[in-house]
Amino acid sequence: MPDLSDVIRTALDAPETGWSMGSFGAIAEFRHVEGDPEAAAPGPLARVSDRGGVAFTDLGAVVPVACETLSPRADRWGRDRAWNAAAHADFQRLARA
């Protein structure tokens, strides 16, 4: 199994990858948009642009779970990854910073 930080770092650098985090009633998204300047990397697992940013901190307790989700289009499925509650707490802490 590949190292989780390597998987995240590769995905952060891939322009076709988008990130969304949310809970009931709130969502945050980070996506590369064609024509935008390259996102800055203030940390090994962080990317920031004029549109916003995403960062991962302590991955020690993170357990990734791959899943498929329904799509409004009958011929498609969404492919997602979910993270455990410890990672969610890090996102909330970063959002308040």
Per-residue pLDDT tens digits of the chain, which is 97 residues long: 678 899 889 888 888 788 877 777 888 888 877 788 888 889 899 998 888 888 888 888 777 777 777 778 788 776 666 555 455 555 555 555 5
Nearest to 49 by CA among 74, 13, 11: 13
Q: How far apart are CA 38 and CA 24, in angstroms?
A: 31
52: left (phi over 0), alpha (psi -120 to 50) or beta: left
Six token digits for residue 38: 């390259």
What are the sequence ranges of the domains in the chain? 4-96
Q: What pLDDT shows up at residue 89?
A: 53
